[in-house]
């Protein structure tokens, strides 16, 4: 016999009430009409576009919090790595939609925008709490932010929202959770195999071979040879970040990089030996984080270009420098830049140090039947 709770669980529901469409579709109120002026036609587009942004931000943060819950542990279940990759892939696809949505907003001309812009003061996209929450969850720290009118980023929020952001700042971010996970990577020292020792030997061999090829060619002029040699670098240039732990830590102190030395070595190992079965998912995770960072930067850049198109050199409605401020955030707010930079340290597959048989077996899910 069905209980009352079962009846409620399986009772029918209407599409309209399930999605609360009456509430949702009644949430577009034209400011131009509210103040008693002639309706500005494109204000409807402006409102709906930004409301849709906020809905997508809600979904992005929902995904991030679920990933963090699974990842913020002393031991991350292998299954959860795949779940995290899927979640970040979903975020990437949402970011693609957000980027495309700018094109919809750009169907509004600068003159159309001027019809209602004056009604918006002091409202600003800078006041999007969910986007700030998104940045903090990803790992953007206050000290690394480009400041808004030389004030803290949370100055525009009420006390309750400030408190939420401050708590998030003190909690483990996705960047920090991934960093801790990387630092726990085994295999870097396995029996007599020291990854960095063998990597340096392979790197020295590769650099010497390429240096000789540049010097011995008669296709390039001396000027171009010198330029190519500078581009090639050596163990004292960008390779020093992986070969010299003290140098790496000094760069962290200077704020030039953020990922710990141990995590960077692990990310390099995973990237070089990505073809080993057990490293497939870890490499996908690192790649998905880089891809997400790329799309966030693209969205910031497209947003800045749209503001330039709409406003030129005008100050934004929230009092910021408009295009200049947004362009600077696109340049500076690369949260996962250190994972991008691992590509600088890669060497060809043909130069990879051979892994010991026992280590290769462990990386290949080889099990004994005995």
**DSSP assignments along 14-27, one per residue:** -HHHHTTHHHHHT-
The span from the CA of 116 to the CA of 107, in Å, is 15
Quick one: pLDDT at residue 6? 63
Quick one: pLDDT at residue 109? 92
Quick one: pLDDT at residue 5? 64
Of 299, 332, 294, 318, nearest to 53 by C-alpha is 299
User: How far out from the chain centre does Cα 176 lie?
Assistant: 13
CB of 64 within 8 A of CB of 136?
Answer: no
Which residues, in sequence order, are CB contacts of 123 under 8 Å at separation 6+?
317, 318
> Would you list the domain boundaries of the chain?
36-363
Q: Please, what is the angle between helix 43-71 and helix 78-105, to 10°?
A: 170
Tokens of 35: 């103040």
Quick one: pLDDT at residue 325? 77
CATH topology of domain 36-363: Methane Monooxygenase Hydroxylase; Chain G, domain 1 (1.20.58)
The span from the CA of 104 to the CA of 245, in Å, is 48
The span from the CA of 40 to the CA of 6, in Å, is 50
In the block, tokens 């959770």 appear at 177
The span from the CA of 286 to the CA of 365, in Å, is 21
Name the helix (H) or strand (E) containing 230. Answer: helix 222-232
Q: How many helices (H) and strands (E) does the chain have?
A: 19, 2
Which residues, in sequence order, are CB contacts of 62 under 8 Å at separation 6+?
none
Quick one: pLDDT at residue 270? 96
Which residues, in sequence order, are CB contacts of 240 under 8 Å at separation 6+?
247, 248
Distances (CA, A) of 195 to 39, 183, 347: 67, 14, 14
Residue ranges of the chain whose pLDDT lies below 50:
368-370
Sign of the Cα pseudo-torsion (210, 216, 221, 223, in order): positive
């Amino acid at each position: 016999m069905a209980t009352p709770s079962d009846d409620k669980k399986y009772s029918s529901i209407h599409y309209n009430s399930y999605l609360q469409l009456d509430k949702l579709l009644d949430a577009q109120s034209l400011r131009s009409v509210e103040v008693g002026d002639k309706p500005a036609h494109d204000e409807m587009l402006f409102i709906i576009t930004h409301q849709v942004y906020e809905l997508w931000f809600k979904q992005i943060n929902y995904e991030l919090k679920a990933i963090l819950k699974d990842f913020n542990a002393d031991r991350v279940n292998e299954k959860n790595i795949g779940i995290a990759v899927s979640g970040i892939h979903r975020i990437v696809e949402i970011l693609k939609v957000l980027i495309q949505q700018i094109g919809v907003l750009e169907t509004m001309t600068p003159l159309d925008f001027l019809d209602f812009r004056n009604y918006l003061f002091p409202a600003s996209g800078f006041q999007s709490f969910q986007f700030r929450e998104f940045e903090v969850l990803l790992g953007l720290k206050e000290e690394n932010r480009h400041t808004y009118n030389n004030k803290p980023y949370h100055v525009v929020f009420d006390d309750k929202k400030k408190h939420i952001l401050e708590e998030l700042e003190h909690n483990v971010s996705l960047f920090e959770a991934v960093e801790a996970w990387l630092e726990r990577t085994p295999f870097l020292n396995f029996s007599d195999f020291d990854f960095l020792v063998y990597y340096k030997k392979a790197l020295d061999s590769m650099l010497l071979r390429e240096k000789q090829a540049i010097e011995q060619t008669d296709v390039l002029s001396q000027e171009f040879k010198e330029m190519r040699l500078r581009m090639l670098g050596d163990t004292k240039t960008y390779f020093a970040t992986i070969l010299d732990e003290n140098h790496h830590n000094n760069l962290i102190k200077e704020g030039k990089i953020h990922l710990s030395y141990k995590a960077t070595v692990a990310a390099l190992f995973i990237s070089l030996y990505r073809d080993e079965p057990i490293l497939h998912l870890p490499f996908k995770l690192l790649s998905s984080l880089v891809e997400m960072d790329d799309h966030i930067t693209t969205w910031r850049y497209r947003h800045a270009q749209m503001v330039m198109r709409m406003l030129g050199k005008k100050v934004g409605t929230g009092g910021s420098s408009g295009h200049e401020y947004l362009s600077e955030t696109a340049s500076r707010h690369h949260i996962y830049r250190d994972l991008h930079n691992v590509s600088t340290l890669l060497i060809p597959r043909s130069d990879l140090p051979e892994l010991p048989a026992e280590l290769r077996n462990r990386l290949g899910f080889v099990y004994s039947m005995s």
